[in-house]
Structure 1
Amino acid sequence: MPLSQSSVAAASAAWVWIPDNATVVDDAGYCLVRFPDYFDHQLDVVAFRPHGPLGDAVDAVLERARAFGLPKVRWQVRLYDPPGLVAELEARGGALESMLDVLASDLSGGTASLPSLPPPSVEVTVRWATDVQTQRDGSAVGVAAFGGALPPEDRLEQEADRDAATVPAGRGGMVVAYADGEPAGSGGVMMADGVARLWGGAVVPAARGRGIYRAVLAERLSYAVTHGASMALVKGKIDTSGPILRRAGFTAFGQEPNYDVPL
Structure 2
Amino acid sequence: MSAQTPPTRQNYADAVGGAPVGVEASSPAWADAAASGHAGWAGHHSADEILRAAAEWVWMPGGSEHDEGDIHLARYPARFGGGVRGSRVRSCHDARTVVERAVERTREWGESTLTIWTSGSDAPGLDDELRRRGAEHIDTVAVFALPLDAAAISVPSGIESEIVRTMEQVRDVDAINVDVWQQQPLDAEGLQAELDDVRAALADGSGLRVLARIDGEAVSTAGCTIVGGFTRLWGAATLPHARGRGAYRAVLAERLRASGQRGAATALVKGRHATSAPILARCGFTHFGDERAFRLAV
TM-score, normalised relative to structure 2: 0.79
* Mapping for residues 15-54 of structure 1, pairs under 5 Å: 15-19=57-61, 21-40=62-81, 42-54=83-95
CA drift of 1:99 comes to 0.7
Hey, what does 2:132 align to over in structure 1?
91
Is residue 120 of structure 1 aligned with residue 156 of structure 2? yes
1:262 corresponds in structure 2 to 297
Distance in 1 between residues matched to 2:72 and 2:107, nearest whole Å: 14
Determine the structure 2 residue equivalent to 1:221. Answer: 256
Secondary structure of 2:235's partner? strand
Task: Map Cα deviations across residues 63-91 of structure 1 (whole Å, 9 max, x no partner).
Answer: 11123333312211133113551111122
Q: Which amino acid in structure 2 is aligned with residue 12 of structure 1?
A: A
- Bigger shift: 124-133 or 53-62? 124-133
Query: 2 CA distance for matches of 1:125 and 1:202?
Result: 16
Partner of 2:123: 82
Cα distance, 1:12 vs. partner?
Answer: 1.1
Q: TM-score of the superposition, structure 1-length normalised?
A: 0.89
Distance 1:203 1:40, change over 3 A: farther
Report the Cα distance in structure 1 between the residues aligned to 2:279 and 2:82, rounded to whole angstroms.
25
Structure 2 residue runs without a partner (length 5+):
1-42
The answer to whether residue 243 in structure 2 is matched with residue 201 in structure 1 is: no
Q: Deviations over 1:34-79 (max 9, x none)?
A: 2232225643113322332320220110111123333312211133
Q: One-letter code of the match for 1:115?
A: A
Shift of 1:92: 2.0
How many angstroms apart in 2 are the aligned matches of 1:217 and 1:85? 32
Q: Do the aligned partners of 1:77 and 1:256 also contact (CA within 8 Å) in 2?
A: yes
Compare 53-62 and 173-182 and name the one that shifted more.
173-182
In the TM superposition, 1:124-163 aligns within 5 A as 124-163=159-198
Partners of 2:163 and 2:243 in 1: CA distance: 21
Q: Which structure is richer in relative contact order (CA contacts within 8 A, separation 6 or more)?
A: 2
The sequence identity of aligned pairs, in percent, is 34
C-alpha contact 2:234 2:269 (8 A) present in aligned 1: yes
Q: Which of the residues 13, 19, 41 maps onto 2:55? A: 13
- For the aligned residue pairs, the C-alpha RMSD in angstroms reads 2.0
Aligned CA distance change for structure 1 residues 155 and 36 (closer, same or farther; 3 Å) = farther
Question: Unpaired runs of 5+ in structure 1?
Answer: none
Find the residue that maps to 2:284 and give its secondary structure: coil
In structure 2, relative to structure 1, the CA distance for the partners of 1:140 and 1:94 (3 Å cut) is farther
Measure, in 2, the Cα distance between the counterparts of 1:184 and 1:210: 10
Q: Which secondary structure state, in structure 1, belongs to the residue aligned with residue 145 of structure 2?
A: strand
**Contact 1:41–1:148 under 8 Å retained in 2:** no
Partner of 2:100: 59
Q: Give the ranges of 4+ consecutive aligned residues of structure 1 lying more than 4 Å apart after TM superposition.
A: none
SS of residue paired to 1:77: strand
Establish whether residue 68 from structure 1 lines up as the match of residue 109 from structure 2. Answer: yes
Task: State which of 141, 160, 182 in structure 2 corresponds to 1:100.
Answer: 141
In structure 1, what is the Cα distance between the partners aligned to 2:56 and 2:220?
A: 27
CA distance in 1, matches of 2:121, 2:282: 26
Helix, strand or coil for the counterpart of 2:48? helix
| AA of the residue aligned to 1:14 | E
Q: Paired residues, what number?
A: 256
